[in-house]
Amino acid sequence: DTGVSQNPRHKITKRGQNVTFRCDPISEHNRLYWYRQTLGQGPEFLTYFQNEAQLEKSRLLSDRFSAERPKGSFSTLEIQRTEQGDSAMYLCASSLVGKEAFFGQGTRLTVV
């Protein structure tokens, strides 16, 4: 097992474009989390899944953001009509229920 994998590692996009990020969790993990981190801050929760069900969404997750985990394996996070304020590191983590969470390398988004 290679751990949690995120792609792409870096993304530069123009304001107004849509972007999609992918997260492949550790294979046996049923929980998958998305976080966002801006410079100098701790990671902020966006949403999490248990298997394919999205169980909680943060108020940070505006209607421009959507996340899916269609078969309970990998997940995608899409941001529509990107804004400069969306520039951040997007982190994915996975775990078994109630157990230790492991993070991927993150996707760094820059909106120009």
Binding site for other proteins (CB under 8 A): 31, 33, 37, 41-45, 48, 55-56, 89, 91, 93, 97-106, 108
Asked if residues 71 and 49 have their Cβ atoms less than 8 Å apart, the reply is no
Residue with tokens 């996340």: 67
Nearer to other proteins, 56 or 78 (CB): 56
In the complex, the smallest distance separating the C-beta of residue 81 from other proteins, rounded to whole angstroms, is: 25
Let me know the angle formed at the C-alpha of 109 by 17 and 44, rounded to the nearest 5 degrees: 115
42 burial (CB, 10 Å; 0-12 / 13-18 / 19+) is exposed
Supply the minimum distance, in Å, between the C-beta of residue 61 and other proteins. Answer: 12
Residue 100: CB minimum distance to other proteins, A: 4
Residue 80 vs 89, nearer CB to other proteins: 89
